[in-house]
Amino acid sequence: MAAFILEKLCHGCQRCLRACPNEAIKMVAHLPVVHPEQCNECEECMEVCMHGAIAFRTHPSISPSSG
């Protein structure tokens, strides 16, 4: 799982960016973007978001190729 931003709800306040202990959130074009490889699922960003603009999802599974 990794956090992702619900852009329609985001106000660009950067509270999530400041709360992230792994610096997994960066601002791009005035909106935060989560880098999933850095997200440790601590949910601190979600806790500080006053607009409910952060959620978590599961990464798609990669199935081994049959050979």
| CATH code of domain 2-57 | 3.30.70.20
What's the confidence (pLDDT) of residue 35? Answer: 94
Q: Is 61 exposed, middle or buried (0-12, 13-18, 19+ CB in 10 A)?
A: exposed
What's the confidence (pLDDT) of residue 25? Answer: 96
Tell me phi and psi for residue 19, to 5 degrees.
-80, -20
Q: What is the pLDDT along the chain (67 residues), one digit of tens a residue?
A: 788 899 999 999 999 999 999 999 999 999 999 999 999 999 999 999 999 999 987 555 433 443 3
Strand partners, 49: none
pTM: 0.77
Q: What is the C-alpha separation between 52 and 12, in angstroms, rounded?
A: 12
What's the confidence (pLDDT) of residue 53? Answer: 95
- Residue 56: CB atoms within 10 A of its CB come to 14
End-to-end C-alpha distance for the chain, whole angstroms: 29
